[in-house]
Structure 1
Amino acid sequence: GMGWSPSVDVSPVGKHSCRRNGRRVHTRPPVTIVYGACRRDRFLFHAPRTLMQVTFLGTRSVLLVKGSNMTLAFGLLLLAFLAGPLAQLNSTINSYDADYGVFIGELPNPSGGDVKGRVYVINETALQIANFSYNGKAPDLHFWLDQSEVPTKDGLKIPSFEFGVTPLGRYDNAERVVLILPGLHKIGTFRSFSLFCLKYERNFGSVIIPETLTIPKPQFLISELRGSRYNVGSGPILIIDRRTIKIFGFTFDGDKAPDGYFFVGRGPNVGYDAGVKVPIRGRDTPELITAMNERYRGGQDIIIDLPEEYDINHIDWLSIYCYKFRVNFGHVPITNVSQRIPPYVPPQKRYDDIELSKVEGWPVNSLLGTEDRRNFTFQLGPPGGHRGYQSMARARPGKFVWYVNGYLADIYMKRGVSYTLIVEGGDDKSTSDFYNPLYISNDPFGGYSKLSSDERKQVKVLAGSDPTQTAGRLCLWSQDNTEDDPDKYNSFIEYRRSLRLKCDQNSRAAVFKFTPTANTPDTLYYQSYNSYNMGWKIHVVDDMPKDVVDFTEEPYQYESWLQSQNLLDTSKGSGSTASSLTGLLLRALYLAAILFLLE
């Protein structure tokens, strides 16, 4: 033999060793392979006379080999080992992966949706899918949890960061898709995770959640932070995940100390060269960590973020440390930490946040329900690109959204005042786009008809509960030039002047009343019964705000709008008294029809 047994440490090169967390995977003299819990893509082989670094890619290839005095025979032997046991380590149901969590299964592809991905449990209320793909072609498809092994319409829809509550679109080998359970639900109460088409009740792939599932859980340290200088102390210390620590009731007289930092490191003693500063969330960044110079009196909880190479399993202490004089003001040992702490999940951004960070939204229009405005008319219109509805509601809109009195707007209603809601969003049940009963609820997403039974229980509908009574004729604002980019306009009002209004003359508007009371919540939403993300906020107030600018709407009632277009098309000064009288007559007839419907 070679006279020595190299070992594999899974850790970043040049950093600490993961040997203490390693476990023997396979032994065939003279080679011993030990697999640790830090990283899966880089390995260090230690021997008395040599060091070899291997970067591992996939299940059967070695990308990079560096080292000296290594024979080709050893390299080939390494390939044989890596292609087998290491690649299979995390394929066992209920096994723990330091980067992703507890593995519960590989998504099958029973319905031709090009579905693939590995499903992991992060903690009691979160899942993630690694390397997820789906072609985006199925209608009304959602991530789904169910209490039975086969998904049903009574299960729980899980919103995604990428698509919110709307049906899923395309994913192309996404590195990680993080899913947070809504409400107070916990993963342990469910039996399956699926991709489920609610509209046709069709399963596009499920994994069974094992009854013996071992869920990663946060852990409190045995000790609290205590020091002999500057009142350093704390309440309980919670390890939230591998790179996040929460310190309750933190105390420190930072206004008196020369300086002070949160400091973590390795070894038996706290020392200047044994650790690194760590940032306080919401105060510091990894690039800029400043000394604590304020007084902490115990009424504030602190969250600190550990760097990748100093996660919770690879530090021995947490200290409040004075860099200026290299003094440890107080520390707590990091001991007896579970090997199933929840994995660290990088902060997730919604698709809309990513897109909207590139553009400036239009100013939001507000309609005040004053004495001069007791009626609100709801029509359909385009969402207005990134600067319109998407910026206002921070949600991914459908093809059309609600225009209120002709505007993308939020509404103010006064308690005790009765308002008339006139609905012109379409009453054709044969189409999904043009059947939009209006309702008012506490739900910011809408689409009541598409909600599961569990979701409906969480929604309180305050008006428009009967969709057969709240769907009216179709009035649609549309672009003549479909290539016109809404984002080039500086305001919604400017954009709307490029639109044309057309109403169905063979049907009637739906009309109903809504009166906010003293018990009505401060914030409600007007929504479509049939589609997600079409409406926005209703502010319920005791008195109309004085700091919100009111305005007079441009014509939005169909007959009035037609009249205004006729006037615009007529050369200046050529308008006749007869045409003005015609416009007034048409408006009077329209209002008379509304009053007739209300009787």
Structure 2
Amino acid sequence: MSCRRFKLEQVAVSLLALAMMLSGQSDAQTQYYGKLIGSFPSPAGQGGVAGAVYAVDANRLQIVGFSFDGSVTAQFRAGSTGSPSGSEGVLVPNEQGSTSPLGVYNNRKLVIALPGGTTLDDVKWFSVWGQNSTLGHVTVPDNFVYPRPRNIGEFSRRQHQVRSGDVTIVNAKEFHIQNLHYDGFGPDAFFWAGNQDDRPSPRGFKVPDHRGSSDEKLPRYSGQTINIMLPGDVTVYDIKWLSMWCIRFTANFGEVFIPDPADLNVPPLVEDVEIPPMPMMNCEELHRDMQVSWTLAGENLDVELAGRVEDGDYMAFGVSGCNDRACMVGSDVTVAWYDGDAPRAVDYTLKAYSQCSGASGVCPDDRVGGTDNNDNITGRRVNGITRIRYSRPINTGDTTTDKVIDPSQNMYISWAIGPINPSGVAAKHHTRVEVSDQVKLMFGREASDMCEMISSAIPAPVTPWPTRKIKGDQVTNFTVRIGPTGGRRGYEAITGLPSWGIAYWLNGLLIPELELKRGWNYTFIVEGGNDTATPERYHPFYITDDPTGGYVQKTPAEQQQVRVFAGVDENGMPTAAGRYCEYNNPNGDTSETSETFAEYAGTLQEDCMPGQAAQFTWTPDENTPDLVYYHCFTHQYLGWKIRVVDEFTSGAAGVSAGMLAVMGTLFAGALLLGHI
């Protein structure tokens, strides 16, 4: 539907609109820097400190007209005490992210970020600090409200099927429009803004669309979520409304109104630093180290995972495999991590409680016949917190690997934190949802932010367990079982590689290094599990020159590149599995609180299934390399090194038969050694 006007009026309106669009807005206010906190003293003070300090958002400041003569060694500092104090405050990096002494500044504009998760809620003062005193500071007023994005509602529904989700002012120049609909039939339609009148009128100007174009009429929108930017120097403080408007017929298809400037406290557009992404509508704390945020955008779910995770760790989140509780097997999750400098968010299916092997285990969808349905992947790492965003359809149509998200239902979810192995596949978690702390989420609920700020504290360092070596001149029989990895002090500290959360234990020791002599016979008694239908309890033992193991996971071409010395038959099938025996932590992991490995081992309990052990004898020969490995045939990163020698090294540190006997005594008090 259109409203016709006289041609002369059309020409006059078009000329007026063109003039205003080219000028940006003739009566735009002075540049907006954020919310003023205060000003430093005049340059007459020590160091010549001057400038006005504005709040950009929760943790960023903009200093306008900053001057400092550099005559005193100084740094930025902020604190929560009543007045500036060197002992109480924290160093704040400069505009380059460095805490080095400040250089000379002359009427500069700087944007700086508060460190370590600190926000303006925590800060009472901000100072240029030097020689154990403040050279100039500003005080944050009581009950100070820093700028933040502002939701201004939906477009009114007037013509051409215009409707939308919420429109948010991201910053002083940018709008975020969710789920926008418009039929595209307006003959001369543009985004249009103005302040000459209280409602949309011809006295406005064009606003470039999501493509940055103000020359082409608006395209059809069918539920897209877009961002648009005001032109020139115009900010939201200069306009009263934003409309979808037909210039030719002076018709308003739908509008939103801008709050009164006195009630509008949004971030400025800061172009010389990264702009924080649009906040999600919902947030839930899953763990002290992990949060999930989301926004339901039509048929898509936008998700952000945020966590205090170490380099090489992933965050996993998705729908539980069970309808009545949180359970891992059957879950449909996204595994998100940083691959170097690139954020990744990969669609996974959890078919078994084991490492991905063949078509079973914790596997990316595209490795087991499904499709990776995640897109729009972005990320950032700031002050020790990793944030990764992605989008996925609520119904992917992939019935092989994905679950349908019902926005109206409370759904149990699965989540975990753990390492990504060097092959780029998720290894076993070290942190996950517990039975006593299960979470149900309704993804279509009313907007609700239930999260506190994640602490960016770094875990205290631990001392790794010493590497154990068993010399084959004193020990020739090895009992092989499954056990825990020893937390941060164990497998990963010893090997420098990620683990699946379980590892081989030989003669009661966690992945000892073996020193074996060519021409000698060595017997391996294997209790790694022989149930092929239960991947998490099937760990055939073999000896290879491959440092990662998991022979069955390799392609035929990759298999041709490695050698297998023992543990397989003439057809290349594993022979050394046997019954399943595992050392467990009945009272929880004590690896970080046990003073010694022997003390830690004494807390473990053995659990063996009925059945017999498998066994083979291996004799290294002149064709055996100096360095080989013992590993699991079906899974990677469970074993460690075998050094093959012509003569035993003299004086080399090792675990003797006597020491092994002592270890056996220690285990006897806690393990059910009658199963051996």
Q: TM-score, normalised by structure 1?
A: 0.41
Higher helix share: 1
Q: TM-score, normalised by structure 2?
A: 0.37
